[in-house]
Amino acid sequence: MRPKLLLTLLAFFFLNPHSQSQPQPLVPPVTQGFTCNPNRTRTRCQAYALYRASPPNFLDLASIADLFSVSRLMISKPTNISDPSAPLLPNQLLFVPITCSCNAINSTLAISSANLDYTIKSGDTFWFVSTDHFQNLTTYQSVEIVNPTLVPTKLEVGDSVIFPIFCRCPDQTQKSNQVNFMVSYVFQPSDTLSRLASTFGVSAKSISDVNGNSIKPLDTIFIPVNRLPVLPDSSNSSRNSSSPPPPPPLPPPSFVDKERKGLIRGLAIGVGVCGGFLVLLIGFGVYREVALRKRGGDEEEEKQKREFFVGKGLKEMEASLMADVSECLDKYRVFKIDELRDATDGFSDDCLIEGSVYKGEIDGVQYAIKKMKWNAREELKILQKVNHGNLVQLEGFCIDPQEANCYLVYEHIQNGSLHSWLHTDDKRRRELSWKSRVRIAIDVANGLQYIHEHTRPRVVHKDIKSSNILLDANMRAKIANFGLAKSGCNAITMHIVGTQGYIAPEYLVDGVVSTKMDVFAFGVVLLELVSGREAVDEEGNVLWGEAGGIAMEGGGKSPSPEGRKLEKVRSWVDEALMEESYSIESVVNVVTVAAACVQRDPVKRPSMVDVVYALCRSDELFFDVSEEGLNNPNVTAR
């Protein structure tokens, strides 16, 4: 596995074409029509946004998936692209899944949107990101409304901003007319209503019923569909995209009754599968309960318990089924146990990645397959809620009732764990430049910020360590293994889990579970990135024990405290980094962040929001200093 790592990485850093000043047109706020009833903020549905691949930054699925915090597969599947890693054509149309909900702004105003997190980069404005990156699927005025604490003229790099992608959920009437999804679509100057209708296989009237009759170019409109249309396949024929504009819309049939029935049947099967999954889980709950009871021997009680479980389970199932069905149908693939067996040579050791995680290829796509027992449920519950480019994405699952095993199937992350890069092989460690280390730190921090700040209830990972951080083909980091994660915060537990060297003192002593324990473990990962050393050395000394001393001035020969601090940091930096240029200011900044994270008192530790902000500063610092470091002869592709 010799990736095109560093070049891609460098490209990422330097192809940032945003110019500083963008015109700010004075248009009245465009939130009319995207508002929803604030009394109904619990409405939630699966929706899609139609996105056009566009050069230079959004011409591959990975960067578009990152922008929308989904996996590549979640776009390639509804769009019917067979190879998710192939480059896209300019203007190629894509269906990007979004979760639409009604989000209250205040007591009278709520906006129907999918709220996406975006981290401000140099040159970004609300206007620029809305019109360019998000292609007018939102407006800067709405961005201002949903981010009331941010001052649009005072954005700083690293600020986390919510971009509300406009969307709509079908109402009862629409649902009864077989509308399953609303596709958010930006009306193009060249579009006509009738052509659009035929592209999506719906009537022009159904579009104007939803959007009114005064649709203007660049308005976001909602197209009610029964199912997603097949977009023209441009992977093959029109490689010659020199002059021809977007691929022509396909002419799909409008709804025929027969087709509709097929669809309903398909939906029913889907519901059945999801439901079946729940039944199985619940069924096994009963089974286990019964097995435990057997020992007690009270048969009557056992029977009652069983009935109770089944009754309760069914009710719960029905409720959660109604809520989850659309997401479940679209988001996950249900694998057959035989598929998994074939893919992994019957779970042979050759396919073992580590622990109980196997690598396997199904239909030409690589997956990481984790074999579990009943503990899968908690992880599944959490993974269903989270959705972020810096978290390893769950792609599907499988139940094997015969062996009472449950399998979670994730995207396979090509370059393995950060631990393996830092601690198993000197050559690999040398390949990990300072720049990519900072990038990895920021990626992980973003993923953690997401689970800490943007999930309800909050999720605590509880097992952040370098071996749970995976690196993809572009050396971007993703957090893996939510096996120990907990939703809900500030709980006390008696059952201490985690990994020596990363465990926060308050958790070890009192069992306090909070987001601050992830902050602590993240601080340890930062120290590993800087020093290239393991979290615990051979003698059992923890790395974080040294952090305080490093970050503080004192000792050394230099006359000034600052100078002494620099001296100390220099002597501590991974010697694999010496060969290339890095800015010592950037390193000092990261060490300072790390030291703050590993403070004993959890209250004094920063939040991940602060950490992301501070790390992005390191990124900038590096940027300023060592342009020439880029011509490092070690940096080669393939």
Ligand X SMILES: *[C@@H]1O[C@H](CO)[C@@H](O)[C@H](O)[C@H]1NC(C)=O
Binding site for ligand X (CB under 6 A): 37, 39, 80, 82, 105-109, 131, 135-136, 145, 218, 230, 233, 236-237, 239-240
Min dist CB 256 to ligand X, Å, is 16
567, with CB counted inside 10 A (0-12, 13-18, 19+), is middle
- From the list 443, 463, 472, 619, the catalytic residue is 463
The string of DSSP letters for 609-621 reads: HHHHHHHHHHHHH
Sequence-distant (6+) residues with CB within 8 A of 476 are 66, 389, 390, 439, 440, 443
Q: Whole-angstrom Cα distance, residue 501 to residue 517?
A: 12
Min dist CB 238 to ligand X, Å, is 7
Whether residue 606 has a cis bond before it, omega within 30° of 0: no
Q: Whole-angstrom Cα distance, residue 477 to residue 465?
A: 12
547, with CB counted inside 10 A (0-12, 13-18, 19+), is buried
Min dist CB 43 to ligand X, Å, is 13
CA-CA-CA-CA torsion for 53, 56, 61, 64, nearest 10 degrees?
-80
Backbone angles phi, psi at 404, to 5 degrees: 55, 40
Q: Whole-angstrom Cα distance, residue 326 to residue 101?
A: 13
Q: For residue 518, indicate whether it is catalytic.
A: no
Min dist CB 108 to ligand X, Å, is 5
Q: Can you name the residues that pair with 417 across neighbouring β-strands?
A: 470
What are the tokens at 59? 């011409």
* Closest to ligand X by CB, 213 or 236: 236
* Closest to ligand X by CB, 109 or 352: 109
* Closest to ligand X by CB, 50 or 409: 50
* Closest to ligand X by CB, 109 or 268: 109
* Closest to ligand X by CB, 105 or 372: 105
Min dist CB 167 to ligand X, Å, is 18
Min dist CB 265 to ligand X, Å, is 16
* Closest to ligand X by CB, 264 or 584: 264
* Closest to ligand X by CB, 23 or 296: 23
Q: Whole-angstrom Cα distance, residue 338 to residue 24?
A: 57
> Is there a contact between 36 and 100 (Cβ–Cβ < 8 Å)?
no
Q: State CA 361 to chain mean position distance.
A: 22
User: Considering only CA atoms, which of 499, 492, 484 is closest in space to residue 514?
Assistant: 492
> Is there a contact between 141 and 27 (Cβ–Cβ < 8 Å)?
yes
Min dist CB 466 to ligand X, Å, is 39
Give 40's Cβ-side CA count (13 Å radius): 12
Q: How does DSSP classify residue 250?
A: P
Sequence-distant (6+) residues with CB within 8 A of 537 are 543
User: Considering only CA atoms, which of 173, 202, 329 is closest in space to residue 264?
Assistant: 329
* Closest to ligand X by CB, 150 or 460: 150
Q: Whole-angstrom Cα distance, residue 417 to residue 533?
A: 15
Q: Whole-angstrom Cα distance, residue 352 to residue 613?
A: 38
Min dist CB 154 to ligand X, Å, is 18
Which positions are annotated as active-site residues? 463
